[in-house]
Amino acid sequence: MKITNTLAGVALACGVLSGCGPAKEELHIYTWSDYIAADVIKRFEEANNCKVVVDTFDSNEAMYAKLQAGSTGYDIIMPTSYQIPLMVKNKMIQKLDHAKLSNFKKNFDKGYASSTIDPTFQYGVPYAVTYTGLAYRKDKVGDAPVDSWKVFETAALKGRMSLLSDMRETIGGALKFLGYSLNSTSAEEINKAADVVIGWKKNIAKFDNEQYKTAVASGEWFVGHGYSSDVIQTMLDNENVGFALPKEGFTVACDEMVVAADSKKAELAHKFIDFCYDPDIAAANMTEVCAPMPVNPAFPKLEESLRKLVVIDAETLKKGEVIRDFSDQPAIHKLYVDAWDKIKAAK
């Protein structure tokens, strides 16, 4: 009996003095780098007595490959919309329980429904929206048409511009320039777009996904094809940097929050998703990420200067188009791959 009481006393002392006891519930999130404000994570942990663990990826393809290779343990994943149908097909994610998403029901800005592939949101709800456009140095471009894909024809800017090293984004820009859908399934249209990009290639410094953010800011490059959230962060620090959405049309990408099929914390995952639709939380996230999140009551909470940069008007948004995945249509996918190979091989 004495031994039993002694052990019980030790256990009690451990719990009181050393914080021993059940570990906090953990929520594992797999997302893009620097995509959730640190204060938002802290507030969620405090509100739910849990710990949030964040792991990051740098492309949808890398994320998908890791999951397909057998990586498990994630609860929330943040893929771009076009990736979700493939994840559903391969049973990587589960349907959402909308009864647990009261903030989403109440606060979602329906104007952003067209930025997603599934407006019924069975498997995912939007987290953040980005636009692909043109970063430029206001003091370097002169009268070049920075609000048009035509800017890449500007001989005076030769060697001072970049295009994304992304098959669908760059061919998509040329398709929009020609008046076509960036999801064209026409071999003729895709080939015409490839020829346009080959013409642009003569004037660019390189195809690039990362350097444009610093190269345009420093003045090394005068125009950079890139993502709005990256460029806006630069604009806040450099008044000489501008950003324009091509008048012929542009890509809209929506990253969504989905719950992993094998998540052991689905209840907590739903709580986090709904937490992100609280207006104060969404405003904090938008301030950090510099991308619009479709939480209607959050927009008035933003600093006016930031709100003007991240929120575009409904008419402009109509010119945006969401990339659709053709991986389940090999013949169409091959048209794009062949066109991209032709572009890369051109001198």
Q: How far apart, in whole angstroms, are the C-alpha atoms of residue 31 and residue 280?
A: 21
- pLDDT for 315 equals 86
For residue 20, pLDDT beyond 60: no
- pLDDT for 327 equals 79
Q: Which pLDDT tens digit goes with each residue over 208-240?
A: 988 998 999 999 999 999 999 889 989 988 999
**CATH code of 71's domain:** 3.40.190.10
- Of the CA atoms within 13 Å of residue 289, those in its CB half-sphere come to 26
**Crossing angle for the helix pair 38-48 and 279-289, nearest 10 degrees?**
150
Does residue 168 share a domain with residue 149?
yes
328: DSSP letter: T
Whether residue 5 lies inside any domain: the answer is: no
Does residue 328 share a domain with residue 282?
no
Q: How far apart, in whole angstroms, are the C-alpha atoms of residue 220 and residue 238?
A: 14
| Distance from the first to the final alpha carbon of the chain | 87
For residue 254, pLDDT beyond 50: yes
Contact 4, 258 (CB under 8 A): no
Does residue 264 share a domain with residue 165?
no
Does residue 226 share a domain with residue 173?
yes
For residue 13, pLDDT beyond 60: no
Whether residue 274 lies inside any domain: the answer is: yes
Name the β-bridge partners of 251. Answer: 132, 321
For residue 18, pLDDT beyond 80: no
Residue closest to 161 by CA, chosen among 219, 86, 78: 219
- pLDDT range class, residue 56, cuts 50, 70, 90: very high
Chain center to CA of 1: 62
What residue numbers bound the domain in which 334 lies?
A: 130-251+321-345
What does each C-alpha distance from 73 to 21, 27, 145, 165, 241 come to in angstroms? 22, 9, 48, 32, 41
Instruction: Note the pTM of the prediction, 2 decimals.
Output: 0.80
Whether residue 76 lies inside any domain: the answer is: yes
Structural domains of the chain, count = 2
Q: How do the residues of the chain divide into helix, strand and coil, expressed in percent and rounded to 5? A: 45, 20, 35
Residue closest to 135 by CA, chosen among 250, 32, 215: 215
Whether residue 34 lies inside any domain: the answer is: yes
Higher pLDDT, 15 or 169: 169
- pLDDT for 4 equals 43
Q: How far apart, in whole angstroms, are the C-alpha atoms of residue 78 and residue 125?
A: 10
Contact 292, 253 (CB under 8 A): no
For residue 14, pLDDT beyond 80: no
- pLDDT for 189 equals 98
Whether residue 72 lies inside any domain: the answer is: yes
Q: Which pLDDT tens digit goes with each residue over 308-333?
A: 888 888 888 889 999 988 878 999 99
DSSP for 202-251? TT-SEE-SSTHHHHHHHTS-SEEEEEHHHHHHHHTT-TTEEEE--TT-EE
Q: Which residues contact 56 (CB under 8 A, 6 or more apart)?
A: 30, 31, 32, 33, 35
Does residue 55 share a domain with residue 107?
yes
Collect contacts of 335-340 with beta carbons under 8 A, ≥24 apart.
335/185, 335/187, 335/190, 336/167, 336/168, 336/171, 336/190, 337/167, 339/167, 339/171, 339/190, 339/191, 339/193, 339/194, 340/167, 340/171, 340/194
Does residue 265 share a domain with residue 200?
no
* Mean pLDDT along residues 173-183: 97
| Rg of the chain taking only CA atoms, in angstroms | 23
260: DSSP letter: E
